[in-house]
Structure 1
Amino acid sequence: LTESVLPAGAPVVTELRCQCLQTVQGIHLKNIQSVKVTPPGPHCGQTEVVATLKTGQEVCLNPEAPMVKKIINK
């Protein structure tokens, strides 16, 4: 069994599986620097939306949330 140690509070995992194990709510648009959308594929069966904040932190957003849909469709 192989185990990985991640920094505390790191919600994004870079492996061949879903990166977003949970999503955050209430992120203000002004705090978002960039957004990366990953469509479903062999690594994960759901769309994943990862926002990089101006602080450099990466957080997962709920792709079904109305605010996130607006960001994606811009």
Structure 2
Amino acid sequence: MKSAAAFVVLACLLMVHVQGQARPGVKRCLCQGSPVNMVRLPRVEKIEIHPAGPSCENMEIIVTFKNGVGQKCLNPESSFTQNYIKRAIKDRSGQ
């Protein structure tokens, strides 16, 4: 009887341990496919910057367009994106 109880406790502990581990092959990046290098700023409603982290190893920049047109991912390596981020930081620090 004691061995059966010990087995049940061990099995429960093993299940909790296995469920709590991250799966290394699964990535939850928001941007799928190829990102765009440039967008027209007057059409942009907001820009979200998601730094690299445990769920996605890439920095992601997501642009939401006005009037519910949709979203696009910007290429963080493009000169347009780099300049936009620098300008946004400069504008924020000047406030």
TM-score w.r.t. structure 1 length? Answer: 0.69
Deviations along 1:17-63, one digit per CA (max 9) or x if unpaired, are 11111212441111111100000001110100000111321111101
- What is the root-mean-square deviation of aligned Cα atoms in Å? 1.5
Q: Which residue of 1 aligns with 2:58?
A: 46
Tell me the amino acid that sits aligned with residue 85 of structure 2: I
SS at match of 1:34: strand
Tell me the amino acid that sits aligned with residue 48 of structure 1: E
SS at match of 1:24: coil
Distance 2:72 2:42 in 1: 14
Q: Taking every aligned residue pair, what percent have the same amino acid on both sides?
A: 32
**Structure ranking higher in strand proportion:** 1
Give the structure, 1 or 2, with the largest relative contact order (CA under 8 Å, sep 6 or more): 1
Distance 1:55 1:24 in 2: 20
Q: Does the 8 A contact of 2:47 with 2:63 survive in 1? A: yes
Structure 2 gap ranges (5+) = 1-26, 89-95
Partner of residue 47 from structure 2, selected from 16, 21, 35: 35
Structure number with bigger Rg: 2
**Structure ranking higher in helix proportion:** 2
How many aligned positions are there?
Answer: 59
Distance 1:35 1:60 in 2: 10
TM-score w.r.t. structure 2 length? Answer: 0.55
Distance 2:38 2:57 in 1: 25
Q: Does the 8 A contact of 1:24 with 1:61 survive in 2? A: yes
* Shift >4 Å, 4+ stretches: none
